[in-house]
Amino acid sequence: AHERQPSQKLPPSRVGILDQIGRETLAIFGESRALDFVGDMVLAGAQAIRRPRSVNWADVSRLVERAGADGLPIVLMLNFLVGLVTGFQAAIQLSQFGANIFVADLVGLSVTRELAPLMTAIIVAGRSGAAFSAELGTMRVDEEIDALRTLGLDPYHFLVFPRVIALVLVLPLLTILADVAAIAGGLLVALLRLDITFAAYLVETRDAVQAWDVFSGILKTVFFGANIALIACARGLATSGGAEGVGRSTTSAVVTSLFAIVVLDAIFTLVFNAFGG
């Protein structure tokens, strides 16, 4: 009988080095794919500017309805509750100093600058971001993306760009309504707990909240919307592995979008404060 030869194994140090080289190589390829995606989106945007009629505006209107009108009730309800909770917590503290009226200032400034834009973006990321990633991921798994390329259609221009436009349009509009809902939540606390009149609350809010406070919050949501759409579409188009891969891409899209939203919000806050905003 032949003796079984022991399998040759690389020394642990060499295995570790090769493993590290492999991981770094994959990371580099991953970054190159991300850059390739950004480049394709820039080209799609340039083409849309040169030929606006080439954009699938019918798809844009459908996506605006899904992301905006269909998501409006949950956006209004959640932001109303955020304003209610913020006003209630402010009332507990300010009533100790006889400064009940300043609840309007705190609620108005906090929701227009930070809370309403942030909460609205989080809702849209959870609803529309997940939907975009799942849709494109399913199309990728079913080879519909390859079919579009075979027909001479650019997937970035035909699928991704309308979704970016839709969220860039929808998020600022939703945020304006979210501001109103959150301020209404604070107003309810003022009326029921602090005995502040409707007119007095609105006058104090008008004096405290300046146009820049509202505009700065809306400005952030333009970038939030582009961020959500780009990340969701990138994750969807990179899907592989069947139905399980679609689930992984959807989860990754939502988590990455939420993280990027918070990072962007922090950057905007630092920039606005640096310039006295």
Q: How far apart are CA 274 and CA 277, in angstroms?
A: 7
Q: List pLDDT tens digits, range 64-103.
A: 999 888 899 999 999 999 999 999 999 888 888 888 889 9
pTM: 0.81
Expressed as residue numbers, the domain containing 214 is: 56-274
Q: Domain for residue 50, yes or no?
A: no
Within a domain: 11: no
Residue 4 lies in a domain: no
Residue 6 within any structural domain of the chain: no
The structural domain count of the chain equals 1
Q: How many CA atoms lie within 13 A of 147 on its CB side?
A: 6
| CA 172/CA 146 separation, integer angstroms | 34
**Would the pLDDT of 33 be above 70?**
no
134 or 97: which carries more pLDDT confidence?
Answer: 134
Tens digits of residue pLDDT in 209-258 = 999 999 999 999 999 999 999 999 988 888 888 888 888 889 989 999 99
